[in-house]
């Protein structure tokens, strides 16, 4: 087991990418804090992990609220004694054009999708440093953070900011033996904020198929394991080759 005895916090773990990542890391021996805004979803995933022989517990938290994150860290440390891994997966999207989005909608997306990972990383890093062992943080970005889109102006902006946040954290936390990296998916599983997955959704990539949550979960596992010990501040694209293609080709 690559993660035996380690404690992992995964946000947005009640479905899709977060759920699959939680289950895969649990199979590798990690104790999983299944964090989700929806208690029922988080508890379900935690129960399924336990039923499969793993160790997990559901935690409810709004990651846009610092007080929720402070309490989350206290609860996880109280239960398992420390934190080794953080996967910042939770996000919301606006799907709005710049001429129609409201300031309130913009602020909500930025609060969850960018400020949330900042706060989670800051407070988790404090606990990792206290524990004194190697910490790992993985941010779940998006190809939307690298290209302009006809819609989702706030989401694209937040994911672009997450790229810079990843690199800044990598530089600032390296001396504390904490590695920070990011995975960059494209159309993996169900759309952001939705549970339904449409396998017939058209995709254009070099693999000719839809991305699956397990595709990204395996990349996350690589980045939080010792297999990637010399990889720091990197962006691992898990997009079926979308980023390598020329528009219109």
The set of catalytic residues is 155
> Which tokens is 78 given?
């109280």
Burial 128-157 (b: 16+ CB within 10 A, else e): beeeeeebbbbbbbbbbbbeeeeebbbbbb
From its phi and psi, is residue 102 left (phi > 0), alpha (psi between -120 and 50) or beta?
A: beta
Token output for 210: 């839809």
3-state secondary structure the chain: CCCCCCEEEEECCCCHHHHHHHHHHHHCCCEEEEEECCHHHHHHHHHHHHHCCCEEEEEECCCCCHHHHHHHHHHHHHHHCCCCEEEECCCCCCCCCCCCCCHHHHHHHHHHHHHHHHHHHHHHHHHHHHHCCCEEEEEECCHHHCCCCCCCHHHHHHHHHHHHHHHHHHHHHHHHCEEEEEEEECCECCCCCCCCCCCCCCCCCCCCCCECHHHHHHHHHHHHCHHHCCCCCCEEEECCCHHHCCCCC
């Amino acid at each position: 087991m690559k993660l035996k005895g380690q404690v992992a916090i995964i946000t947005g773990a009640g479905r899709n990418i977060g759920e699959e990542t939680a289950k895969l890391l649990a199979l590798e021996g990690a104790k999983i804090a299944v964090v989700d805004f929806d208690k029922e979803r988080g508890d379900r995933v935690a129960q399924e992990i336990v039923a499969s022989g793993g160790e997990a517990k559901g935690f409810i938290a709004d990651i846009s609220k610092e007080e929720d994150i402070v309490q989350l860290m206290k609860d996880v440390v109280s239960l398992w004694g420390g934190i080794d891994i953080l996967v910042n997966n939770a996000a919301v999207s606006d799907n709005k054009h710049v001429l129609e989005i409201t300031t309130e909608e913009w602020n909500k997306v930025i609060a969850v999708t960018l400020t949330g990972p900042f706060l989670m990383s800051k407070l988790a890093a404090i606990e990792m440093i206290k524990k004194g062992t190697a910490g790992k943080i993985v941010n779940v970005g998006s190809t939307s953070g690298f290209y302009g889109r006809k819609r989702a102006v706030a989401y694209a902006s937040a994911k672009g900011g997450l790229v810079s946040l990843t690199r800044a954290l990598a530089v600032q936390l390296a001396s504390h033996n904490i590695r920070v990296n990011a995975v960059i998916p494209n159309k993996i599983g169900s759309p952001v904020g939705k549970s339904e997955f449409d396998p017939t959704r058209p995709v254009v990539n070099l693999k000719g198929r839809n991305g699956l949550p397990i595709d990204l979960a395996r990349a996350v596992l690589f980045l939080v394991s010792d297999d990637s010990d010399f990889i720091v501040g990197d962006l691992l694209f898990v997009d079926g080759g979308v980023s390598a293609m020329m528009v219109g080709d």
